[in-house]
Amino acid sequence: MEHYEVNQYSVEVTCANGTYLRLEPVRDHIVRCIYAKEKPKECPSLIIEREHFEHQLISVIEEKEKLMLISGTLKLIIDPADGSVSFFDAKTNRRLLQEGKKELSRIDVLRYTTGDEKPIIDRVKTVDGERNFIKNLREVKDHEAYRGKYHFIWQDENGIEEGIYGLGQAEEGIYNYRHHSQYLYQHNMRIPMPVLYSDRGYGLLFDCCSLMTFEDGQNGSYLFMDAVPQMEYYFIAGDTPDRVIDGLRFLTGRAAMLPKWAYGYVQSKEQYYTASELRDVVKKYRELQVPLDCVVQDWNTWKPGQWGEKQVDPDRYGDLKERMQEINEMHAHAMVSVWPNMNTGGANHTEFFEAGYLLNDYSTYNAFDEHARAMYWKQAKEELFDGGFESWWCDSTEPFSGPDWGGEAKREPWERFTMVGNEHKKYLPQEQANAYALQHAKGIYENQRQTTEQIRVLNLTRSGYASGQKYAAMLWSGDTTASWETLQTQIIEGLNMGLSGYPYWTLDIGGFFTVGKKWQNRGCSCNQDSSPKWFWQGRYDEGIRDRGYCELYVRWLQMGTFLPMFRSHGTDTPREIWNFGKSGEPFYDAIEKFIKLRYQLLPYIYSMAGEVVLHNATMMRSLLFDFGSDHRAKNISDAFMFGKNLLVCPVTKPMYYEAENTVLEQTEKTRPCYLPDGTDWYDFWTGQRYHGGQTVSADAPLDRIPVYVRSGSVIPMKQGMQYADDPSDGWLEIHIYPGENGTFTLYEDAGNDYSYERGAFALTNFQWEDAGRMLQIGTRTGSYEEMAVNVPMRLILKGAETKEITYTGEAMEIKWA
């Protein structure tokens, strides 16, 4: 066998079919794979951090007309005939993945231009903002690239199919992608990720930013890539999703730490109209003593007719700095909506146009140009950031989805993919059609970091891509419809986003659109438009006046309590707590209870946030993460782990009311919950203990969803907090759930600066030894400015007496009889 070259870190094979294959282990469980028509080259990547590669020594052996590569924990068998590879665990010799064929076909990549003609612009007002459609664009060949197809040969064993997960967030609510198809393109309610996770213990990350499709059906099993210079992907072995995701973050970048207040309650709606109204919302929450950390300004801060301008309307926001200061004095923060597209004639648009920094829709700035990104930040800083807004809501970051955002009937999946995908390719490089939001987030993050290190970046964005976590981009699922079916699918989409390796994901609590047929009640300034919209199909025309919607909202908020960001938002009907009644009334009380629960759990949640940054952890966890060997648990898609300790079982069916205030008679107020095997579980509300491996009927009245705590858990909590940094009564509660050994590490830092990157944070380890009924508190490691040295703690062991101690940072042992 002659046609291969080996150096100490890689092997390159010239295949019999004339293609090239390069294999390069970059960590002990990660292999970089390049399949190309020409000799493989180093192509620029928008998502991979190659400077962090840990090159591994390899050995290559010829074996029966094939090559065997051994490196780290992996063994690879390479077929030089076609470049296909089989990946094995080197220790057990278990095959993890067998590749099918790989295909590359040459294409002409087109560029769209008006040439010497003046653009003919059709300016259209849509529900999703004002859009430019250029009527006289024509195609011009720009360069050549390839379409790629990567074929799978699934490893089904003993009658159990290999499960395939990930691919980001879509709309259909598909949990396991076996026997399904999916279209990977950016759209409102669609955030693709070029990542697959297999329950056989591996993941695949494709370094591809073009449009893609996944197919597992009668036409075969493959991933299609619309335009690539070569096929480049990474095989990541891991016996758990955590191990695979650790590899994904190694490749795409460590997550940035969000401000601590981002984990509190965020109140938003479409829309507030003045700076004073934002202040008044915070003031009312403080008067009601309902916790709150952030209020959000949706679109329309600009002057009339100047869509997308980052200069505020002085008639409504002339007092912005004063009102923002008042919000800060109430220990709260504000977020503002910004858009990548602008109307002609505004100062921001004119500046971009004159600098040549607009894409050829003559509306959207070119986020792929670092100078354009710097100009965008300069404009956002001048009145919004300097005016007191501390965080960003980057809306419509898939700016070319307009052709599909209208009409009565929802188009076929392939039709939507083609329509929206082609619109993106008119204005973006074909190889980067999925990457606009990523580059936009990069500009916000890098330029704010250059401006100040004292305020952490937080970017709530409707679209994103792999590696966006390093730019502090919190993805949200888009403009969803208020229905029980949507609530069910949103849980599944969140699970797959987590299995795609992305740690920051949230949604609009209550669904964005509540109205269906009664168009007169529409928000978004659309109550004069009677035309049906396929996406404006809420089940609750009267919004909060419909008890059916109030019940749905409560259940959605209860689920949202256990997401990385806890945020209420939507149009058509208001969302603040006082719109659902008053204290002593059931909907109000249920909402208040769960907002307060979020703050009780904040020490646990912020410690998870530290795990995300320090150890590449995941907050919203499919049961695959922790119970992959329990075949029943791993197939559950309507429950999830919040961290490694809390099992959350959302209620996704009405129990009290249907739409139009229809009372449900004789409905059981319970929910069946499967408790995974291998551990015991405690009912969070009652303390009752259950053995795992069984289904229990859990009480689920309006003010409760089933939540269970894994035995051996050590969970820090605090009572009485009104905001994330509220010292409350000072007591830190440590809740211990006996039954097995357990550990937890409390993470603390300054909360809103970047000193943590320089080591300014503190870790305190709690270890429960069940047999000896002893809690060991380790020596606190690290410190940060204004850290409390002496911490009063209540140690609450379930079924035993509560102990009170003062922790000084020195190691302690506390025993119970």
- By annotation, the residues acting in catalysis are 395, 398, 479
| Contact assessment for residue 784 and residue 740, using Cβ atoms and an 8 Å cutoff | no
Structure tokens given for 49: 């951090």
Taking the mean position of all CA atoms in its chain, how far away is CA 339? 20
Matching residue, tokens 């109550």: 527
Give, as one character, the DSSP assignment of residue 5: E
**In whole angstroms, how far apart are CA 102 and each of 21, 149, 184, 232, 237?**
10, 6, 19, 11, 20
Rounded distance between C-alpha atoms, residue 307 and residue 525, angstroms? 14
User: What is the C-alpha radius of gyration for the chain, rounded to an integer number of angstroms?
Assistant: 27
Pairing of β 294-297 and β 265-267: parallel
Residues 6+ apart with CB under 8 A from 714: 734, 735, 736, 737, 742, 743, 744, 766, 767, 768, 775
Structure tokens given for 351: 């500046």
Answer whether the bond into residue 271 is a cis peptide, omega within 30°.
yes
Rounded distance between C-alpha atoms, residue 417 and residue 397, angstroms? 17
Rounded distance between C-alpha atoms, residue 631 and residue 650, angstroms? 21
Residues 6+ apart with CB under 8 A from 262: 293, 294, 391, 458, 474, 565
**In whole angstroms, how far apart are CA 202 and each of 48, 163, 406?**
18, 11, 40
From the list 393, 606, 347, 397, the residue with the least C-alpha distance to 508 is: 393
Pairing of β 670-675 and β 662-663: unpaired
**Letter string b/e over residues 150-166, b meaning 16 or more CB atoms within 10 A of that residue's CB:** bebebbeeeeeebbbbb
Rounded distance between C-alpha atoms, residue 344 and residue 307, angstroms? 9
Give, as one character, the DSSP assignment of residue 365: B
Structure tokens given for 692: 């795992």
Rounded distance between C-alpha atoms, residue 497 and residue 168, angstroms? 5
Rounded distance between C-alpha atoms, residue 616 and residue 501, angstroms? 9
Tell me which amino acid residue 64 is.
K
